[in-house]
Structure 1
């Protein structure tokens, strides 16, 4: 297992009054080929899977004291062929949208489009970006807070040492099996590399390559990192709705 496990501080416990600026990239352009229908629009707790993911992302970011002094959120969602159905949902949570015209070319294209949109926006320069998939209905704001806190503490160390832009990558591991998963927070050093990923490997090309020595792994005790990729996944995860997770 790459990296070291990092015990993040409680929310809002930064040791510096200057906090890193964190954006969110939501990847929602997948074609859901194994599901047979758009998995992001599947019913979930009275809304959809996509609503659940957006609520977790926005809620964790909002709790983590990374507010911007501008009127917009540093959130971008990349959507694909179903953008007319997906865009109204993500926009209701403050996301601007980018349409991936060729989602069949792989997740790398969506990541590049989203990162470019985030870094080109007219807001403060970002120190890190949370890259999230749109099919984790069990995701909670707690996970996002833990990612941001771990990054923030390492970012402060890097800043004091004059080592910015940050090379830190924060990755969650879920449950008793320490299963690696999403979302992943990438420091600004990796923005250019994120814009040039090819195929469908996504951030793994960085995590398993040049970024492996800069990973900070955090442990999320609850086993809530599951993706919904197939009808079997959806049924299995749906049966956990009443569990205390």
Structure 2
């Protein structure tokens, strides 16, 4: 007998080109481990049944970084065309009865398991079409999308889910997270600042 499908999974988007960094930021070392491994461990700490990692650039190396963590790798061969292709790669692989999915950026190393849990808890209590994280005044992933929104994700290959979030924000539950956790790493300067934060104990 096959195991029942999970009702909610997390998808870590780790397939991008890292063009502004000049090298694959998923493989950058942070506190003795790669960024993709650090983020994946935090997501796993939230207690989800399944965590998926969408890989593209350097997919073998990125996959190796998380191979022992029990995650599922989803290959996105079109990753160079934009983030929307990673959303589509995940959605097209979803079980047909999947209830909802939490999408996570692979370059947000200061989000903790507790923060992901807060977003998940908001969904489990209210079951809205959309849960949005807000850091101070900025709305940013992680976001949870209910199944009825899956078809709209990744329709524009160049962008992620901004349009879907904008169109459904009136139906969304917003979860406030610490502003300091919103720290994407896109450039060498941001990487240097991240290393300083970690050296300082974060």
Which TM-score applies when normalising by structure 2? 0.90
Number of matched pairs: 197
* Residues 14 and 54 in structure 2, CA contact (< 8 A), matched pair in contact too: yes
Quote the offset at 1:171 in angstroms.
1.4
Separation in 2 of the partners of 1:188 and 1:116? 12
- Aligned twin of 1:5: none
* 1:244 to partner: Cα distance: 6.0
Q: Give, in whole Å, the separation in 1 of the partners of 2:201 and 2:177.
A: 14
Give the aligned partner of residue 186 of structure 2: 229
User: Please, which of 52, 56, 70 is the counterpart of residue 76 of structure 1?
Assistant: 52
* Counterpart among 159, 170, 183 of residue 213 in structure 1: 170
Please list, as runs of the form range in 1=range in 2, the aligned pairs for 1:7-46 lying within 5 A after superposition: 21-46=7-32
The 5 Å alignment of 1:1-245 reads: 21-60=7-46, 62=47, 67=49, 73=50, 75-119=51-95, 125-155=97-127, 166-167=128-129, 169-174=130-135, 177-194=136-153, 196-209=154-167, 211-221=168-178, 223-243=180-200
Q: Which SS does the other structure have where 1:240 is aligned? A: helix
What is the RMSD of the two structures over their aligned residues, measured on CA atoms?
1.8
Of the two, which has the highest radius of gyration?
1
Change (3 A) 1:234 1:23: same
| Residue 21 of structure 1, CA deviation | 2.1
How has the CA–CA distance of structure 1 residues 137 and 213 changed in structure 2, closer, same or farther, with 3 Å as cutoff? same
Greater Cα offset, 102-111 or 235-244 = 235-244
The structure carrying a bigger helix percent of its residues is 2
Deviation at 1:76, TM superposition (A): 2.0
Where structure 2 has 5 or more consecutive residues not aligned to the other structure, the ranges are 1-5
Q: CA deviation at 1:23?
A: 0.6
